[in-house]
Amino acid sequence: MNEYDSDKITDVLRAKGDVVLTERAEEADIILFNTCSIREKAEEKVFSDLGRVRPLKLAKPDLIIGVGGCVASQEGMTIFRRAPYVDVIFGPQTLHRLPELIAARRASGRVQMDISFPEIEKFDSLPTPALSKTEGAQTNSGAAFVSIMEGCSKFCTFCVVPYTRGDEISRPLDDVLRDVRGLVAQGVGEITLLGQNVNAYAGEHDDGETVDLAYLIRTIAALDGVQRIRYMTSHPREMTPRLIELYLDTPKLANHLHLPVQSGSDRVLANMQRGYTALEYKSVIRKVRALRPDISITSDFIVGFPGETENDFEATMKLIEDVQFDVSFSFLYSPRPGTPAAEMADEVSYETKMARLKRLKARIDELENSYSEKMVGTVQRVMVENISKKDARELAGRTDNNRIVNFVGPASLVGRFVEVAITSVSMHTLRGERVT
């Protein structure tokens, strides 16, 4: 989502004037930080990064330094108090107002801040998605993100998102379809529908009815030129029968479901207010697998939630065995200011939590590897995303089950679907050979 927002920030500035992107801070007239506050580590990084650009501001007083994203939303003027050389503070829902904020800063000489939630206005003010990102970069990757909803109204007790991005709000169906058609016309074949909780999508149809994510996916799948559809992130509580059914009758839907579970302990899940039990989660997975037996199921885990006992942790490890997750993300619980979990009693030591996290990661890694090894010898349909960073003769592409594969091929294949035979796997990378 942050990558998507960063692209939007670029689009908004480009639409308003002659803007050239640079990766070199010393050359810049405007330096923008798009921030994340999901965990404390991400948040602290912002202040150390700001400290690093401070000397540039001293040397060039006209330089504009802006902080956007969820840290801006959460901290507001505290950012200015900690870093008084910051000029502009904007939230995830006000990034479209950035040109005005910068102009107001230049005219007034005073710090400007707008971290409000003006709801759908942001989407209405964004230019149509364009593919070119950084100057000189591969312009067409063939895969693009389309945001379909913003915010979250779930209020899981550990999470800061509902406070920083506001309530769930969906874009009207026609607006999403316009973006998708525009991207397809530019050669995009793979669309990832984005949102904090995409399966809470409730978009307005032009006949006044409200449509769900299943309807949206079906409509997009019916468009010529769309070859593969992904969505993220979804919430287990809203994996509706209508959505699950798509895995039977919509072959364009990728063979991968990222469904964050967080914990395998019903007690912890209840304290997190996730709204499901481990059994209910497994039942969703069983239904999906009944329709797509080889689908890759990936997840997010939080280890060390306040009061997590040894038994709770073992329940998570058991869930991992029961579901046999593919590539997953695991995080040490990080207390976020203002969230209910930050007030919960927590007696478990840091060492114990780290040991649990290590054990969980090791098991997830083993599972990932065994899935990768099973892919060796198969032929995969791969969307070529870009030229490999390590070797210019090589391409990097994504399989249907969301794995990156490196293989030798010409740059002209970037943005196209090709068949690749998987030949080997090492660490987290698959290698292959193009099948012609």
Q: Judged by CB under 6 A, which of 47, 163, 331, 417 binds ligand SAH?
A: 331
Convert residues 255-294 into a mask of x (bound to ligand SF4 by CB under 6 A) and - (unbound).
----------------------------------------
Token pair recorded at residue 198: 């995409």
- Chosen from ligand SF4, ligand SAH, none, partner binding at 405 (C-beta under 5 to 8 Å by type): none
Longest dimension (CA), the chain: 64
Q: Judged by CB under 6 A, which of 336, 353, 356, 403 binds ligand SAH?
A: 336
Q: Which listed range, 81-89, 155-163, 202-210, 369-377, lies at the site for ligand SF4 (CB under 6 A)? A: 155-163
- Chosen from ligand SAH, ligand SF4, none, partner binding at 155 (C-beta under 5 to 8 Å by type): ligand SF4
- Tokens 């007034």 — which residue? 108
Q: Judged by CB under 6 A, which of 71, 148, 161, 319 binds ligand SF4?
A: 161
Question: What residues have CB less than 8 Å from 40, skipping those under 6 apart?
Answer: 334, 335, 336
Nearer Cβ to ligand SAH (38/422)? 38
Any idea what DSSP says for residue 341? G
222-251: contacts with ligand SAH (CB under 6 A)? 233, 235
- Tokens 């995969």 — which residue? 380
Q: Judged by CB under 6 A, which of 3, 155, 286, 294 binds ligand SF4?
A: 155
In angstroms, give the least distance from the CB of 9 to ligand SF4.
21
The answer to whether residue 197 forms part of the interface with ligand SF4 (CB under 6 A) is: yes
- Tokens 């994340």 — which residue? 36
Contacts 24+ apart (CB under 8 A), 108-113: 111/80, 111/86, 111/87, 112/87, 112/88, 113/76, 113/77, 113/80, 113/88, 113/89
> Is the CB of residue 264 less than 8 Å from the CB of residue 311?
no
> Is the CB of residue 394 less than 8 Å from the CB of residue 385?
no
- Chosen from ligand SF4, ligand SAH, none, partner binding at 334 (C-beta under 5 to 8 Å by type): ligand SAH
The Cα 315–Cα 433 span in angstroms is 41
In angstroms, give the least distance from the CB of 397 to ligand SAH.
25
Total residues contacting ligand SF4 by CB under 6 A comes to: 10
Helix, strand, or coil here: 329?
Answer: strand
The Cα 56–Cα 397 span in angstroms is 38
The answer to whether residue 229 forms part of the interface with ligand SF4 (CB under 6 A) is: no
Q: Which helix (H) or strand (E) holds 5?
A: helix 2-16
402-421: contacts with ligand SAH (CB under 6 A)? none
The Cα 245–Cα 242 span in angstroms is 5
> Is the CB of residue 302 less than 8 Å from the CB of residue 316?
no
- Chosen from ligand SF4, ligand SAH, none, partner binding at 162 (C-beta under 5 to 8 Å by type): ligand SF4
In angstroms, give the least distance from the CB of 151 to ligand SF4.
9
Question: What residues have CB less than 8 Å from 251, skipping those under 6 apart?
Answer: none
Closest CA to 70 of 45, 51, 105: 45
Q: Judged by CB under 6 A, which of 122, 228, 235, 258 binds ligand SF4?
A: 235
The answer to whether residue 39 forms part of the interface with ligand SAH (CB under 6 A) is: yes
Interaction site with ligand SAH (CB under 6 A): 38-39, 158-159, 196-197, 233, 235, 260, 262, 300, 302, 331, 333-334, 336
Contacts with ligand SF4, residue ranges (CB under 6 A):
152, 154-156, 159, 161-162, 196-197, 235
